[in-house]
């Protein structure tokens, strides 16, 4: 039915592994890393057992690729990367807890604030209309919307 599949050798699997690694390098993730490694391992297996049928080769490749990918994801969840900057690529989340001064009066609980050198839309959590000069604090971020609350005054 598929005569080219009957001629699969270890070189074909190694070539597939290299091709998958090239795609992995071009699109950095770990999505294709484990199938690429699986193709390489299958190439080694076929080097040792050269008469293996293509059906078994595809079955072994599938099992290796799926189990190694799922195993990696599981291991990653159990051993998360520890970093000193967990919010590095989530710029807006870095602003939670920042204190700001209102530069444009809020209307209907919404307004704009200056944060660093950018103008951000803000929403009062309790619907308060803050006047210009009021001190507020970023409580949470939803997309590009800052949810803010009044800074408590010391008693």
Q: What is residue 110's predicted lDDT score, i.e. its pLDDT?
A: 92
Q: Which pLDDT value is given to residue 1? A: 59
- pLDDT for 22: 94
Task: Give the residue range(s) of CATH 2.40.50.140 domains in the chain.
Answer: 91-150
Give me the pLDDT at residue 61, please: 96
**Between vectors from CA 91 to CA 127 and to CA 124, what angle results, nearest 5°?**
5
DSSP E strand boundaries for 39-155 = 99-101, 110-115, 118-124, 135-142, 145-150
Distance CA 113, CA 148 (A): 10
152: tokens are: 């408590």
CATH topology (fold) of 91-150: OB fold (Dihydrolipoamide Acetyltransferase, E2P) (2.40.50)
Given this model, what pLDDT does residue 117 score? 85
Q: What is the pLDDT at residue 17?
A: 96
94 in Cβ contact with 83 (< 8 Å): no
* CB 130, CB 106: distance < 8 Å: yes
CA atoms in the 13 A half-sphere facing the CB of 123 = 9
**pLDDT tens, residue order, the chain (155 aa):** 567 777 888 899 999 999 999 999 998 787 899 999 999 999 999 999 988 988 999 999 999 999 999 999 999 999 988 878 766 677 677 788 889 888 889 999 999 888 888 888 999 999 889 998 888 999 998 888 899 998 877 66
């Amino acid at each position: 039915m598929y005569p080219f599949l009957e001629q699969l050798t270890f070189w074909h699997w190694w070539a597939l592994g290299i091709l998958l690694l090239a795609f992995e390098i071009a699109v950095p993730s770990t999505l294709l890393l484990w199938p690429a490694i699986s193709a390489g391992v299958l190439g080694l297996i076929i080097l040792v057992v050269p008469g293996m049928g293509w059906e078994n080769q595809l079955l072994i490749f599938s099992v290796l690729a799926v189990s190694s990918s799922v195993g990696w994801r599981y291991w990653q969840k159990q051993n998360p990367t520890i970093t000193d900057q967990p919010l590095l690529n989530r710029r807006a989340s870095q602003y939670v807890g920042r204190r700001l001064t209102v530069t444009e009066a809020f209307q209907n609980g919404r307004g704009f604030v200056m944060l660093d050198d950018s103008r951000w839309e803000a929403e009062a959590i309790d619907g308060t209309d803050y006047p210009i000069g009021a001190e507020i604090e970023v409580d949470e971020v939803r997309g590009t919307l800052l949810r803010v609350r009044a800074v408590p005054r010391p008693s």
